[in-house]
Amino acid sequence: MGRHIEFISHTSTVVLGLHGIEVTPPQHYSGVISPTFTAVADLGLSGTSSGTAVPDITVLPVSDGVSGSASGSGSEGSLVPLNVSATLIDPSETITGIRISGLSNGAILTDAAGNQLPQVGGVYSFASVAALAGVHVKSPDYLHGTRSFQVEVDTLDTAPGLPSSSKTTSFAGAVTVVAVADGATFSGP
């Protein structure tokens, strides 16, 4: 059975045979590791013999994505602030894009002034989480209840000289619009 060594520094010492060793890099590491392995053999009366190897171990980037949530709540007939959170699991990665889709029943995304944001086929695209600041949901008048929608966040993990890795993380969001009584109008003589 192989031996497992957790990689802590660039030098590891193994007392038994080297066959089947696994090296575990630090969490979220990508790049080249060059640990030093030294093997010592007991030759009995002849003494010992040793050899050293410094293999390059390439750890490819793997994007971990984000942990995310999205919600909003407000009153019917008003702009409802949209709160989207997307936190990188590996802080060395980059968010490369965010898409919001699936708004139902005529709801749209607007800026804080109520101007509709550009969209293609019902998909709103943003370059970063910061670009979502001031985004609101506008529902048609007299429409209330909970509306679900979908958020997709693209991430990229890179390391110099190695192929990059990307991942899309999807999660559902919900906006709750509370009904507001409009009152009655009267006319007459």
Against a cut of 0.95, is the pTM above it? no
The tens-digit pLDDT sequence of the chain (189 residues) is 444 444 444 444 444 555 667 778 888 999 998 888 777 777 777 777 777 878 888 999 999 999 999 999 998 888 999 999 999 999 999 999 999 999 877 888 998 888 999 999 999 999 999 999 999 998 887 778 888 899 999 999 999 999 999 999 999 999 998 888 776 677 766
Compute the distance between CA of residue 103 and CA of residue 109 in angstroms, rounded to an integer.
9
- Give the residue among 68, 67, 94 at the shortest CA–CA distance from 156: 94
Compute the distance between CA of residue 185 and CA of residue 182 in angstroms, rounded to an integer.
9
Tokens linked to 79: 């702009």
